[in-house]
Amino acid sequence: MQLYNTLSAEERAVMIDDAGKQRLTLSFYAYAQIQNPTQFRNELFLAWNPLEVLGRIYVAHEGINAQLSLPADHFYAFKDTIEQYDFMRGIRLNIAVEHDDFSFLKLTIKVRDKIVADGLNDDSFDPTNIGIHLKAKEFNDLLEDPNTIVVDMRNHYESEIGHFTNAIKPDVDTFRESLPIIEEQLAEHKQDKKLLMYCTGGIRCEKASAYFKHKGFENVYQLEGGIIEYTRQVKEQGLQSKFIGKNFVFDHRLGERITDDIVSNCHQCGQPCDLHTNCANEGCHLLFIQCENCATAMEGCCSTACVDIIHLPEEEQKAIRRGIKNGNKIFKKGKSEVLTYKNAANSQKSKVESQTVRTTSTLEKRTKVQEPKIQKMLIGKAIHYFAKAQIGQFYIESDAIKTGDQILIKGVTTGEQTMTLDELFVDDAPSATATTGQTVSFKLPFRIRLSDKLYKIIS
């Protein structure tokens, strides 16, 4: 009886690609009394593994916290598996704003002491005495109330790339750190202000609202379903999004675009940017924000030291990693001393030196590659591939393409493929141009995948 994932991430990626199925990314949580979390965990694995469910799920005596993906055609079968449990019957499933077939590549279900590491003693207060849930319009209305204080319950690296306007954003690495800080900062407003909280999917606010009520806050509110559900309601009801930027997510995507606003900066050069990445050095994997120029100059690394390491033979890299604990690097997300712009306020000299490092590294990179960087514009996404006819079909999301244009098709498995468009078909009819909202088809000498992106090369 298989109770654990047996495939590598690389093997799973190939299987997903070959299957050619659209996958849904979703999340949910439920607080409940689970007598035997290990048995519950095993039951879920046995039910979900045949349905090709992949993700990161935590279960504990207090409930379940799940972030996962599954083939769209298995959605209702999946719902049947969770609704066998009374506490998950009719549960809200937060469907992702943006989908990526490769958002998760393993099914990992872990038994934990808690489904969210909050550091609280639940026996000391009533965790069911929660705040008032608000839907998107109600949340927007309360944001306009001058007696409202809105608080972001997420960590600094999450709120840095996107947040609600005028929100208090605690500069913390973990959820547990934020609770005493918020209580202290707002101690004078327990009676006279409305405490309005939000997080990614609602789970952190569920516990935090009960905690703050226990601490004497009289007017406690929370965003129902978090930023994910808020965004869905905003689009469905045509509301103004008071959330700006990107919503950080804990999967391969690292973020979902909510609005076009870019509210953060590259941690290495300071240019406007909200692209999170992990350092390319396997022994580091620091999470930080890096623009395309710095990604090229620094070869996807957070520092020149890591650049040097990734060019060593693989055996030497493994020898360096052996026995070294890098947890402080990994969990101090976006706060490492090597991130030049992030730490520039501490030393103007550091800023000057970092510019020198970037310039030198850029020259070294150009010498090695001896190719100019391709300037491109995202145009659309792949929606189908006709294998026998060798025709790719794309949906144009913005701007336009025409015959004669040079294009780039990019994806995890496809890699980067460039070509010139000789012939286009829009809605199966020959056309010289394809514009926003149209479906375009053209011949391809290679196979494409549903996760592939279509770019127009502009220089």
Q: Which positions are catalytic?
A: 199
- Give dist(CA 196, CA 179) in Å, integer: 14
- Give dist(CA 204, CA 175) in Å, integer: 8
Q: Would residue 169 be called left, alpha or beta, if left means φ above 0 and alpha means ψ between -120 and 50 degrees?
A: beta
Return the closest-CA partner of residue 99 out of 21, 154, 30.
Answer: 21
Q: State the Cα angle at 140 between 136 and 143, rounded to 5°.
A: 140
Q: What is the DSSP string of 62-115?
A: TEEEEEEEEEGGGHHHHHHHHTTSGGGTT---EE-SS--TTS--SEEEEE-S-S
| Kind and range of the H or E run holding 245 | strand 243-247
Q: Are 131 and 82 in contact (CB under 8 A)?
A: no
Residue 216 in tokens? 């004497």
Going by their DSSP bridges, the two strands 132-134 and 220-223 should be labelled as parallel
Residue 305 in tokens? 């030291």
Sequence length of the chain is 459
Q: How far, in Å, are 19, 68, 320 from residue 101 at the CA level?
A: 11, 11, 34
Q: Are 328 and 285 in contact (CB under 8 A)?
A: no
The DSSP 8-state label assigned to residue 323 in this structure reads T
Return the closest-CA partner of residue 361 out of 316, 299, 417.
Answer: 299
Q: Are 45 and 107 in contact (CB under 8 A)?
A: yes
18: Cα separation from own chain's centroid: 24
Residue 222 CB neighbours (<10 A):
27
SS (H, E, C) 9-56: HHHHHHHHHHHCCCEEEEEEEEECCCCCHHHHHHHHHHHHHHHCCEEE
